[in-house]
């Protein structure tokens, strides 16, 4: 019985680990746009304020936490 419970806990832990989205952080800068492509979420950041925008994928939580005009990555840390 205890062995079955231990296996169940291990399987649940692995399942939850697979759900976590861990994307590389983009460059620091001002969020100029937000793009949703199906179930993929992107932020567009201008790190130099000179029109050199970078688009990168983020989690849906970071997408919702960062608004246009906010400073990235500060918007995800607040």
Could you tell me the pTM of the whole model?
Answer: 0.69
The pLDDT value recorded for residue 13 is 52
Which pLDDT score, from 0 to 100, does residue 16 have? 46
pLDDT of residue 15: 47
d(CA 10, CA 59): 25
What is the three-class DSSP state of 25? coil
Q: What is the residue-wise DSSP string for 16-75? A: HHHH---PPP--SEEEEEEEEETTEEEEEEESSSSS--EEEEE-HHHHHHPPTTPEETHH
Kindly give the confidence (pLDDT) of every residue in the chain, 78 residues in length, as a single tens digit, with 9 standing for 90 and above: 656 554 555 555 544 444 556 788 899 999 999 999 999 999 999 998 788 899 999 999 999 999 999 999 999 876
């Amino acid at each position: 019985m205890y062995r079955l419970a231990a296996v169940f806990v291990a399987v649940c832990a692995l399942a939850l680990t697979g759900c976590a989205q861990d994307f590389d952080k983009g460059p620091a800068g001002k969020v100029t746009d937000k793009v949703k492509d199906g179930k993929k979420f992107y932020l567009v950041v201008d790190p130099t304020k000179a029109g050199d925008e970078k688009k990168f994928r983020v989690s849906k939580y970071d997408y919702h936490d960062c608004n246009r005009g906010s400073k990235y990555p500060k918007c995800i840390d607040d």
